[in-house]
Amino acid sequence: MKNIVNIINFVRAIEPRPNRNIDMQEPMREQIRILRENGLRGTFLLQYDTLIDPAFDTLIEDAASFCEIGLWLEIVKPQVEAIGLEWKGRYPWDWYNDVGFLIGYEPEQRFRLIDVAMERFRERFGHYPESVGSWHIDAVSLKYLDDKYKINAACICRDQVGTDGYTMQGGYYNQAYYPSVNNMFCPAATKEKQINIPVFRMLGSDPVLAYDYQLVNYGQTQCPTLEPSQLARFNDWTDWFFEAMFEQGHGLCFQYTQAGQENSFGWQRMKGGLEYQMPLIAKKADEGVISVMTLGESGKWYKSRFDSTPAATAVGLGAWKHPALSSVWYYCKRYRVNLFLDGKVARFRDTYIFDEDYREHYLDTRCDTHACEFRNLPVMDGVIYSNAAEDILAGVYFTRGGERIEWDEMRYRELSESVAEVTLISADGCARVLFSEDGIEISADIDGFALTPEYDRERVYGYVNEGDLFANHNNKKTALSFIDRAVAERDKIVFSMNGFEYGVKVAKGRVGEDFSIGASDGKIKLMPF
């Protein structure tokens, strides 16, 4: 199994937000220094305004002498004006989705915005970039980048709800995937609908704490990611993260994380974390634990290794400062799922179905709101469907006779490059959970074993105003879709969202009217459809 670390720093020319008097060149200067001192190569992704700003010329030349240079595809005023459009943002760089991202423009305009950035890059470096990044890049733009420019890799934000107005929930939790032509956030199931650019997930999300840290009090307020301005400011968390990700043998066919930081935070906020992380990364590379690659190199390796999206896992057996919490993520071309052990209680905290025909919101028309949403098809969402004020932590719980089973231990192992197994052990018996690309199989030697969902019904169907769910100071609104219906049938559960029907087939087990699933002869088998 290959362990890959990308060191990606993306660079904007300005930081217009109030009370942020930041030297925008200093972070890049120090990042170049610290990479060189540790014998590391990274990737610098330049926003268009950085590419044309003479103040960055010397830094760009220095970085290009030993690092990869690519494009950061957020949209800025000079880029819009270069294609003859009027800039409607509040500042020359504006993070609102209707002006600051490709989705804020009609598809034909997106192509022109990409072209002007690509040509400026080629004029500067003599070639087009191998890699691009942004918090999100729609499927139309990704396909254009593949068809015309043959980009080797792209990177996008981690999963989140509401933060900065960007909801990206229910995607490939980590590693990389080939997206569908209909939905950049969904892995393609067939070659015919596959965009051949591997999309890597940024920021190094903690596999245990990052999913619902805004909902559950884990004793810290920083986002649990490898960003040095966030939880990675604590060196002991960074040590835990690298051990969990790279030294416990998890990840199926490969494991991945991204280190680095955008310059908008300023050097002082990222200094401590980067000065600890870079020597650590260099040391683990020297020891053969990890391979440090540029984003473009990672994309080339991925393309040479995989014709379609491989299954992957992200595992944390015992969280940082919370040894009673363990989490196993499994995701493949058809679905993703998270099995979470909270003390002695186990639940599927998250389950999403991937369908390459489910269309993102921005394929044909522009985003005309400050907030945006990229989603897949929810079966259980432990963030959106929970209500912490009512002590409802949504999930599909492991039960017996309607009561939650208490478990003493969770064990994990990989059976192949696409199959993983989790075993839960209690005083009364055990449950074996097998994850594969076909679906989920559970075998339990506990009488009355069942899966029982718990959730806030109003949040499932969107009956309450969730316009500010987890939104922060940068954007007070959140864009969210909710399911239209859910129907329990004899051997399946059928859902509909935005008029798109999907569901879970129960190949073994019995479906109850309350959507619980009872074991048949100690077995439950679930398959997405």
Whether the predicted pLDDT of 1 surpasses 90: no
What average pLDDT does the segment 37-63 reach?
A: 98
Q: What pLDDT, on a 0 to 100 scale, did the predictor assign at position 324?
A: 97
Cβ–Cβ contacts within 10 Å for residue 500, how many? 15
- The rounded radius of gyration (Å) of the Cα atoms in the chain is 23
Decide: 187 and 215 in contact? Cβ < 8 Å: no
Amino acid at 380: M
Q: What pLDDT, on a 0 to 100 scale, did the predictor assign at position 217?
A: 86
Determine phi and psi for 268, rounding to 5 degrees: -65, -35
Question: What are the tens digits of pLDDT across the range 163-198?
Answer: 999 999 999 999 999 999 999 999 999 999 999 999
State the pLDDT confidence band at 331, using cuts at 50, 70 and 90.
Answer: very high
Q: What pLDDT, on a 0 to 100 scale, did the predictor assign at position 475?
A: 86
Q: What pLDDT, on a 0 to 100 scale, did the predictor assign at position 289?
A: 96
Q: Going from the N-terminus, what domains does the chain have, and what CATH number goes with each?
A: 2-203+254-305 (3.20.20.510), 312-528 (2.70.98)
Q: What pLDDT, on a 0 to 100 scale, did the predictor assign at position 372?
A: 96
Question: What are the tens digits of pLDDT across the range 229-249?
Answer: 999 999 999 999 999 999 886
Q: What pLDDT, on a 0 to 100 scale, did the predictor assign at position 250?
A: 80
SS (H, E, C) 377-419: EEEEECCCCCEHHHCECCEEEEEECCEECECCEEEEEECCCCC
Could you tell me what percent of the chain has a pLDDT over 70? 99
Burial class (CB in 10 A: 0-12, 13-18, 19+), 91: middle
State the pLDDT confidence band at 376, using cuts at 50, 70 and 90.
Answer: very high
How far is 122 from 128, CA to CA, in rounded Å?
Answer: 5
Q: What pLDDT, on a 0 to 100 scale, did the predictor assign at position 476?
A: 82
Question: What are the tens digits of pLDDT across the range 123-164?
Answer: 999 999 999 999 999 999 999 999 999 999 999 999 999 999
**Composition of the chain by helix, strand, coil, percent to 5:** 25, 35, 40
Q: What pLDDT, on a 0 to 100 scale, did the predictor assign at position 18?
A: 80
Strand order in the sheet with 523-528: 409-414, 420-426, 429-436, 439-444, 523-528, 500-508, 492-497, 483-488
What is the DSSP code (8-state) at residue 247?
Answer: I
Whether the predicted pLDDT of 111 surpasses 80: yes
Q: What pLDDT, on a 0 to 100 scale, did the predictor assign at position 469?
A: 80
Residue with the two structure tokens 């989140």:
160
Whether the predicted pLDDT of 361 surpasses 70: yes
How far is 365 from 510, CA to CA, in rounded Å?
Answer: 43
Q: What pLDDT, on a 0 to 100 scale, did the predictor assign at position 467?
A: 62
Decide: 352 and 345 in contact? Cβ < 8 Å: no
How far is 166 from 479, CA to CA, in rounded Å?
Answer: 8
Whether the predicted pLDDT of 106 surpasses 80: yes
* Mean pLDDT for all residues in the chain: 96
Question: What are the tens digits of pLDDT across the range 450-508?
Answer: 999 999 999 999 876 666 788 888 888 899 999 999 999 989 999 999 999 999 999 99
How far is 58 from 81, CA to CA, in rounded Å?
Answer: 26
Whether the predicted pLDDT of 341 surpasses 90: yes
pTM for this prediction: 0.96
Of 436, 346, 315, 293, give the one whose Cα is nearest residue 7: 293
